[in-house]
């Protein structure tokens, strides 16, 4: 099959690789109809994470079930499915507690930017649509593989409630989905921290009531002013850097919560500040399968349109250009069509 592969920092190619095959009776193979580039794919692209030269890359996709293992009962070949980037059995103790991203049978999509992807634990992971989505919903359905449930998880972890004030730190696709999540959950004030005009526009379209372009101490002061000096009830940290975490903790009100979903790189927690202001902190890898049925309904009923985070669509063969566009911030998020 044709698949996106990474060979060195900055070196993305689309090459011929062996088709994935069923390895276990609980596996399924999905023919990818749409995949995309994740912000976390940029870590190895920038040389910040180790690379296995020639490995396939990409963990977000949707498509049609091609083949199933002997023990798979809930999906059939021909079903149109969302593939959560983290695969789970949805039956173990952690899954039953709503933490499917810590499943004892956890798997991760490894060829989402390709023609075919293997899914471990197909029964527990895949969610089928009644039929293939209409073309204008493809982008929004694709966000359900990772980026939208991750933004949703930030809002859940931060404790967003109806009538609350939420701040979103980070204007990447996850942060923008976090804005949409906070608005959908009924937050009254949603403050998006964003410096980029194109991203501010999406945040506002998603329902952000305020945009703060300043960063660091100025950004913190601006949020404090909007919240009458109180700070925010819930803060969504969607970047993963120390600066972003510092800002998130500083803009939370005493007793408020910070939900973090940015993969931490060099973050050091100010435990003294958390203590003195009673700020709660939780988050981590999103249990995508937990939120998927609810979010799929919202998308199919056209009540949310997270697909707006995609501002560039390319044929799979141009994956390298997709990575460049995201790396250079010319694109918020890139959709790839095999």
Give me Rg for the CA atoms of the chain.
Answer: 19
CB of 102 to Zn ion, least distance (A): 8
The Cα angle at residue 264 between residues 221 and 159, in degrees rounded to 5: 60
92 or 299: CB nearest Zn ion:
92
CB of 100 to Zn ion, least distance (A): 6
CB nearer to Zn ion: pick between 90 and 140: 90
**How wide is the angle at C-alpha 293 spanned by C-alphas 289 and 299, nearest 5°?**
120
How many angstroms separate the Cα of 300 from the Cα of each of 130, 138, 230, 257? 10, 10, 38, 31
Q: Based on CB atoms, which residue is closest to Zn ion, 26 or 113? A: 26
86 vs 261 by CB, closer to Zn ion: 86
Residue written as token pair 């062996």: 18
Contacts of residues 201-208 at CB distance under 8 Å and 24 or more positions apart, as own/partner, are 202/176, 202/308, 202/309, 202/332, 203/168, 203/171, 203/175, 203/176, 203/179, 205/308, 206/176, 206/179, 206/180, 206/308, 207/179, 207/180, 207/183, 208/168, 208/179, 208/183
Supply the minimum distance, in Å, between the C-beta of residue 181 and Zn ion: 24
Q: Does 288 bind Zn ion (CB under 5 A)?
A: no
**Least distance to Zn ion, CB of residue 98, Å:** 11
- The burial of 333, by beta-carbon neighbours within 10 Å (0-12 exposed, 13-18 middle, 19 or more buried), is given as buried
CA distance 334 to 326: 7
Count CB atoms within 10 A of the CB of residue 96.
Answer: 10
Nearer to Zn ion among residue 101 and residue 184 (C-beta):
101
Site size toward Zn ion, by CB under 5 A: 5
Residue 91 Cβ vs Zn ion, minimum distance, rounded to whole Å: 6
Which CB sits closer to Zn ion, 75 or 332? 75
* DSSP class of 310: -
| Nearer to Zn ion among residue 71 and residue 136 (C-beta) | 71
Nearest distance from C-beta of residue 86 to Zn ion, angstroms:
10
Q: Least distance (Å) from Zn ion to the CB of residue 97? A: 9
Minimum CB distance to Zn ion smaller for 39 or for 124: 124
Give me the least distance between CB of 93 and Zn ion, in Å please: 8
The Cα–Cα gap between 112 and 108 comes to: 10
Report, in Å, the least distance between residue 189 CB and Zn ion.
Answer: 37
Whichever of 89 and 237 has its CB closer to Zn ion, that residue is 89
Query: Hey, what are 137's tokens?
Result: 């919903």
192-196: long-range contacts (C-beta < 8 A, 24 or more apart)? 192/168, 193/167, 193/168, 193/169, 193/219, 193/223, 193/247, 195/171, 196/171, 196/329
Site residues for Zn ion, 80-109, by CB under 5 A, read: 88-89, 92, 95, 103
Report the first-to-last Cα separation within the chain, whole angstroms: 10
Residues that bind Zn ion (CB under 5 A): 88-89, 92, 95, 103
């Amino acid at each position: 099959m044709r698949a996106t592969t990474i060979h060195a920092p900055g070196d993305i190619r689309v090459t011929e690789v062996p088709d994935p095959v069923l390895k276990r009776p609980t596996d399924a193979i999905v023919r990818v109809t749409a995949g995309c580039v994740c912000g976390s794919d940029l870590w190895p692209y920038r040389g910040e994470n180790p690379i296995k030269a020639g490995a396939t890359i990409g963990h977000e996709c949707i498509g049609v079930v091609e083949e199933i293992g002997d023990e798979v009962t809930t999906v059939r070949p021909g079903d149109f499915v969302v593939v959560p980037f983290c695969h789970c059995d949805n039956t173990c103790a952690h899954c039953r507690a709503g933490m499917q991203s810590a499943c004892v049978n956890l798997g991760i999509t490894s060829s989402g930017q390709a023609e075919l992807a293997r899914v471990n634990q197909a029964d527990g992971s895949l969610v089928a649509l009644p039929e293939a989505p209409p073309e204008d919903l493809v982008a929004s359905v694709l966000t359900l593989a990772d980026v939208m449930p991750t933004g949703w998880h930030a809002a859940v972890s931060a404790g967003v409630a109806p009538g609350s004030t939420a701040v979103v730190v980070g204007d990447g696709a996850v942060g923008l989905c976090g804005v949409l999540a906070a608005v959908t959950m009924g937050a009254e004030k949603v403050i998006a921290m964003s410096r980029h005009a194109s991203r501010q526009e999406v945040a506002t379209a998603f329902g952000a009531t305020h945009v703060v372009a300043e960063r660091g101490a100025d950004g913190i002061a601006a949020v404090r002013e909007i919240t009458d000096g109180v700070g925010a009830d819930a803060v969504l940290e969607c970047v993963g850097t120390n600066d972003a975490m510092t800002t998130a903790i500083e803009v939370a009100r005493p007793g408020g919560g910070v939900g973090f979903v940015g993969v931490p790189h060099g973050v050091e927690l100010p435990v003294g500040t958390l203590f003195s202001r009673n700020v709660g902190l939780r988050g981590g890898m999103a249990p995508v399968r937990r939120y998927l049925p609810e979010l799929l309904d919202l998308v199919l009923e056209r009540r949310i349109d997270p697909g707006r985070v995609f501002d560039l669509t390319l044929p799979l063969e141009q994956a390298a250009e997709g990575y460049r566009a995201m790396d250079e911030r010319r694109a918020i998020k890139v959709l790839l069509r095999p």
